[in-house]
Structure 1
Amino acid sequence: MNRLIKISFILIVVVALSIGFVTGASGSAPPRLEVMIERTLRLTPTQTVTADSGKSFVVIYWEEPGNTQSQSRHSVYQVNVNTSETGISRTNLGRGARVTPGNAREYEKNYIGYYRYPASHTANNAQLNNYINYIIEVGSSAPYQQARIYPPIPNAHTNYQKNSDTCSGCHRTHYAEHPMLLSRKIMQEMCIECHDGSASSYDVIRGVARVPGGWVAAPAGPFVGTEDNPSTSFHNVFLEDAFDTPLNQQFLLYAPGSGGDRMNLTCTNCHSAHVTDTSSRYRLLKFPEGAPEVNAYSYVRGGEYRVLYVDGMNQFCGQCHAEYDYGSRNNPMGYTEHTMYEGIQKAGDYYRHPTGIDITNWIGTPKTTLPLEHRNNRQYMTCGTCHVAHGAALHNADQASPELAEDPRLAERDRYKYDADGNRIYDRLDDGTEVTYSSMLKRREGMGICLECHLDQVWGNTPGAQW
């Protein structure tokens, strides 16, 4: 009996310890971060301090239930793309300090009991350069809580503040036009209100992003482009108002490689407005349940706006273009994973260039300058290697998707590309023939993308080539 009691006591202790470990693990990071970005801080009712030219004050706040100590239990890390641009590195910046009635600044009255970093507005990291993307992580162990900070503009999509200004830009409590209490009925109009460059560092219309040196090309490309250089192909998000028309009159877009699925495309088909369990912190890209989120990091180097891709792009694009995701693991159609040197295989009704393949040991030309995913010291080709996401302004890349132009299941009006006004995009040849005018969201003119990898000994360095 005594032995049974001892065994029972040991089991109780083990279970209790296990519960403690689980609880501790769940508390390895704060539940959320709040980010304050200001050019001027009011320290007291009569004292203010202004950031240096080209910089903004950035203060991060978080709660720690159960902790009443003056120092946070969590460390603060700054995440950077490493100098080789193939991965990320973390720098430990230290721990946060508790905001108390005795040390709270004038603007911190709502943050008493929270922890802040940096502890002082005179600290080295209190001011950050405007138009640079900073990634800050807070926690005791992975997974950390993450904030992506882009001074001088607060990110209304992710890190909430005890300041309703970041919400009121989109939401209306009493006179909304949308069921989500949005101030606009059309989602595209809602997004473009800021993302035309007027109130955001991203101008998706022209396809540029703002960096400390000015406006530079953005990796997603332009939806519309400029008058001198208009887009020749883009994901059409400008016809959302068709939802108000009868079904048989709607503009119906067939995504190439979708198998003929119809959809009216909006900004929110790809992006979430807020971070959720199925949206990536990078660009808030939506991903299907069970699929990896898009893991990527944007940064500025050499005056250029760049992106380091890590994982998830193929699965993201494959939500609509499922048949094109041939070769990668966990592709939506369940195609066999592509193995180098086995040759190109059929995926659906067509032979397709495989995606998601490891090209680290590619022979022939040096590594491509096109974007690849970098993980585990390997390089992987993705849909984004050859295509941009928003639009392309290339005028020497005219072609039409066979699945749009030839598929008998598609009504004739659905076989063509349309501009923002619903007019078909075409090129008129010398004999008067109208040819669909589309650059298919390609990154290079003509066959420039192919030559990035297949220039030297075009067949000789192609795995699986048959002589």
Structure 2
Amino acid sequence: MRKLKIGFSALLMLILVGMFATFASAEEIKLPSNLGTVDNSGNTNTHKTHGNFQNNTNSCANCHSTHNGEDEMLLMKSGEKELCMSCHDGTMGFYNVTAASEAGVIDSHELSASMHDVDSDLAVKAAPGALKNTTTATFECSSCHNPHGSANDRLLNETVAGKTYANTYKVTIVGYAETIEKTPLAVGNKAIKLDLVEDPAYAEINNSTTLSGLKITKSKGIYNAATAEVTKEQMYNYKLNYSEFCAACHDDYLKNREHGPREAKTADGHDLYTHTTSSTKAGRSCTACHYAHGTDITLLRDTAGKTIADLQKPVDQGGKAWTEDQAKAYMKDVSKDGSDLKKFTNMASCWACHQSTHAIVNTPGTSTYPASGAVPGGDYSGKALIK
């Protein structure tokens, strides 16, 4: 039995599934036995699990056992991950972290798989790029998510590794130079807002008028442009806060060579340059290159933004009509240190961005390549996916 630093129930909206009984099959959703039937307004509904508890809540019992808990937090499973995955393994039919999403994937054993390891005694301070992170906590699901509720989307913690990262940013851009001033965000305000859209697989639930406005959503990731929903200033705030969220553990990766004091040095005292994520510019967020949960061969893309599934489609549907084996062999990440939660395979993570002024060419006029020098099949449209 592992000891937990923070009790974490990962039964995301588990109590809400009772209202889904008329919409989904028993094979898709496991119904708990202690559902509520009437909410605070007297409407037919159920209790909430992750925060915003009803006055008559019975939600605690879905995660905790009053007299027979498996650990000091009285959790009903022997570890955080075990509790989380008892629901988020697809049991509910939605919010399945083992299936591909904008957050990536957890627990995949597909080719080129790599992910945040929440199933070991990995120390938070062991994170790559952790120079000043001195926390003694073990890395768990609750290192990033708050099971009891958060102001942020997807229950992302408001404090990470003991650091409150939420800020409001004033961004001034003159030419290529960017100046950023930040002030702490008021407690309880949303620091991270994701581009959430209603999940079409649950349209009947989302369109119901009897479920107190419940919506099952899919995430398109962070906002990368001003929309009718968010202003440019808000988009900057959410983007920069997300990078600071990641940098609470990976603190060395927040460096910016364009503004602010430099801290990273090589062994002989020279500046250590790096990609800065503390910037509002396109492609300057952690999620431009990485998935939060992890990646595998089914998620990796090439510079055209194609996945192995895309490559297997007929040519008239934008694919190459390749076999699965051919597509996987092409997409396999062969980097020395593995795929590192990347969105793009191998160094396509770099080339997807750095191709606008460096067209892929080879020696013109050779027998292998046409006189123009362009590599056959070269396609760099995947840059549009970078946020």
TM-score, normalised with respect to structure 2:
0.51
How far has the Cα of 1:297 moved from its partner? 3.6
Deviations 1:387-432 (A, max 9, x none): 11111114999xxxxxxxxxxxxxxxxxxxxxxxxxxxxxxxxxxx
Q: Counterpart of 2:220 in 1: which secondary structure?
A: strand
Separation (CA, whole Å) in 2 of partners of 1:252 and 1:307: 24
Query: What are the Cα deviations for residues 364-407 of structure 1, in whole angstroms up to 9, with x where unaligned?
Result: xxxxxxxxxxxxxxx6731111111111114999xxxxxxxxxx
Change (3 A) 1:38 1:388: same
> Is the counterpart of residue 224 in structure 1 residue 122 in structure 2?
no
Q: What code does the residue aligned with 2:119 have?
A: F
Tell me the equivalent position of 1:264. 138
Partner of 1:255: 127
Counterpart of 1:387 in structure 2: which amino acid?
A: H
Q: What RMSD over aligned residues (CA atoms) do the two structures have, in Å?
A: 4.1
- Is 1:456 matched with 2:373? no
Query: CA–CA distance in 1 between the matches of 2:277 and 2:258?
Result: 12
Give the match for residue 197 of structure 2. Answer: 299
Q: Deviations over 1:333-388 (max 9, x none)?
A: xx7637xxxxxx874443101113233xxxxxxxxxxxxxxxxxxx6731111111
Q: Deviations over 1:254-275 (max 9, x none)?
A: 2111127575311111111112
Higher Cα Rg: structure 1 or 2? Answer: 1
Q: What are the superposed Cα offsets for residues 82-141 of structure 1, whole Å, 9 maximum, x if unpaired?
A: xxxxxxxxxxxxxxxxxxxxxxxx954x74xx4x78xxx8xxxxxxxxxxxxxxxxxxxx
Q: What secondary structure does 1:282 align onto?
A: helix
Give 3-state SS (helix, strand or coil) of 2:155's partner: coil
Contact 1:323-1:347 within 8 A present in 2 as well:
yes
Q: Distance in 2 between matches of 1:218 and 1:155?
A: 24
Q: 1:394, 1:439 within 8 Å by CA — same for their partners in 2? A: no
Question: Kindly, what percent of the aligned residue pairs are identical?
Answer: 25
Question: What is the aligned partner in structure 2 of residue 289 from structure 1?
Answer: 164
From 293, 303, 321, give the equivalent of 1:390: 293
Shift, 1:313, TM fit: 0.6
Q: Please state how far the C-alpha of 1:317 moved relative to its aligned partner.
A: 0.3
Deviation of 1:449 after TM superposition, in Å, equals 2.5
Distance 2:80 2:117 in 1: 13
CA offset digits 1:32-81 (Å, max 9, x no partner) = xxx977548xxxxxxxxx96x579xxxxxxxxxxxxxxxxxxxxxxxxxx
User: Which one has more relative contact order, counting CA pairs under 8 Å at least 6 apart?
Assistant: 2
Uncovered stretches (5+) of structure 2, i.e. residues with no partner: 1-14, 26-35, 168-190, 202-217, 224-234, 267-271, 301-334, 360-387
Deviations 1:133-189 (A, max 9, x none): xxxxxxxxxxxxxxxxxxx99751123124544321101111112222221231121
Equivalent residues in 2 for 1:372-383, closer than 5 Å? 381-383=284-286
Residue aligning to 2:374? none
Q: TM-score, normalised by structure 1?
A: 0.43
Q: Distance in 2 between matches of 1:219 and 1:180?
A: 31
Q: How far off its partner does 1:285 sit? A: 2.9
Q: Please tell me whether the aligned partners of residues 232 and 437 of structure 1 are also in contact (alpha carbons under 8 angstroms).
A: no
Specify the alignment match of 1:157 in structure 2. Answer: 50
Q: 1:384 to 1:251 in 2, by over 3 A?
A: closer
- Structure 2 vs 1, CA of residues 439 and 291 (structure 1 numbering), >3 Å: closer, same or farther? same
2:254 paired residue number: 325
Q: How does 1:124-143 map to 2 (within 5 A)?
A: none
Aligned to 1:191: 84
**Partner SS, residue 352 of structure 2:** helix
Closer, same or farther: CA 163–230 of 1 in aligned 2, 3 Å: farther
Go from structure 1 to structure 2 and tell me whether the alpha carbon gap of 1:305 and 1:107 turns closer, same or farther (over 3 Å shift): closer
- Give CA-to-partner distance per residue, 1:258-314, whole Å, 9 cap, x none: 1275753111111111125xx624333343335232222422478875234341111
**Paired amino acid for 2:60:** C
Aligned residue number for residue 174 of structure 1: 67
Q: Is residue 283–residue 353 contact of structure 2 (8 Å, CA) maintained in 1?
A: no
**Secondary structure of the structure 2 residue equivalent to 1:298:** strand
CA contact (8 A) 2:114 2:296 kept: yes
Whether the aligned pair in 1 keeps the contact of 2:158 and 2:166 (CA below 8 Å) is: no
State the one-letter code of the partner of 2:245.
F
Q: Which residue of 2 aligns with 1:446?
A: 346
CA gap of 1:39–1:238, structure 2 versus 1, over 3 A, is closer
CA distance in 1, matches of 2:299, 2:155: 30
Where do residues 74-89 of structure 1 align in structure 2 (5 Å cutoff)?
Answer: none
Shift in alpha-carbon separation, 1:337–1:153, aligned structure 2, 3 A: farther
